[in-house]
């Protein structure tokens, strides 16, 4: 497996340490209002997205600034550390068929973790970024779905949140058994905070 890449990229001037959240619309606004800041952020997002693709042995990046602009419903959370972007986690709703243990399918629209990467690993940064995202999304780890979780993601979810049991799905999404309530119902839909440019949603 390829080693993780070190990513150091300049940040827009107004972003302080912590976690910021971006939508495609907010990135497009930044591109119009402050092209220099947009360019710095685009470079950082594209470099981290590429590094994530390499770390997960994918054919290409799941996350670029351009892809985010084309996917209006998705939210991108960035971890900022000492003037660099040190990690990303991207989430969005997906309409999924879920095959139940014991048979039968149900249609779900969970918030899914679509990409997740930190440049310096196993030092708590992933947990800090994940927690900030989960707070902003108003969901806990068991109430999210995971798109093709990597061999590092599965132990991450077990280690931090005790998540282990799930039914393998043909679409490669993982939804843990504890996603469903005792009555077998999916979690109730809840609102989430609207993304803002560079709004810090968590601190380290």
Q: Give the residues lining the site for ligand COA (CB under 6 A).
A: 52, 55-56, 116-118, 121-127, 149-150, 152-153, 155-156, 159
CB of 165 to ligand COA, least distance (A): 17
What kind and span of H or E run contains 8? none
CB of 149 to ligand COA, least distance (A): 5
CA distance 157 to 134: 13
Measured from the CB atom, the residue of 28 and 154 that comes closer to ligand COA is 154
CA distances, 159 to each of 23, 124, 142, 153, 154 (Å) = 30, 12, 13, 10, 9
CA distance 197 to 20: 8
User: Residue number with the shortest CB distance to ligand COA?
Assistant: 126
CB of 30 to ligand COA, least distance (A): 25
Q: How many CA atoms lie within 13 A of 186 on its CB side?
A: 18
CB of 153 to ligand COA, least distance (A): 4
CB of 26 to ligand COA, least distance (A): 23
Class of residue 121 by CB neighbours under 10 A (exposed 0-12, middle 13-18, buried 19+):
middle
Measured from the CB atom, the residue of 38 and 130 that comes closer to ligand COA is 130
Measured from the CB atom, the residue of 11 and 55 that comes closer to ligand COA is 55
Measured from the CB atom, the residue of 72 and 155 that comes closer to ligand COA is 155
Rg (C-alpha) for the chain, rounded Å, is 17
Measured from the CB atom, the residue of 30 and 79 that comes closer to ligand COA is 79
Distance of CA 200 to the CA centre of its chain: 16
């Amino acid at each position: 497996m390829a080693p993780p890449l070190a990513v150091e990229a300049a940040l827009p001037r107004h972003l302080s340490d912590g976690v910021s959240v971006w939508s495609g619309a907010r990135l497009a606004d930044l591109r119009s209002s402050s092209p220099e800041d947009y360019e710095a952020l685009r470079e950082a997002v594209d470099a981290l997205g590429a590094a994530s693709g390499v770390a997960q042995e994918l054919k290409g990046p799941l996350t670029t600034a351009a892809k985010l602009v084309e996917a209006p419903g998705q939210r991108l959370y960035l971890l900022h550390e000492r003037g660099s972007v040190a990690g990303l986690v991207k989430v969005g709703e997906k309409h999924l068929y879920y095959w139940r243990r014991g048979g039968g399918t149900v249609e779900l629209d969970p918030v899914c973790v679509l990409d997740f990467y930190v440049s310096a690993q196993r030092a708590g940064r992933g947990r800090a970024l994940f927690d900030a995202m989960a707070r902003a999304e108003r969901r806990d780890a068991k109430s999210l779905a995971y798109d093709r979780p990597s061999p590092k993601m599965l132990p991450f979810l077990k280690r931090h949140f005790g998540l282990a049991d799930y039914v393998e799905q043909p679409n490669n999404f993982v939804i843990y058994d504890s996603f469903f309530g005792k009555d077998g119902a999916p979690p109730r839909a809840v609102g989430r905070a609207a993304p803002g440019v560079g709004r810090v949603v968590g601190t380290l």
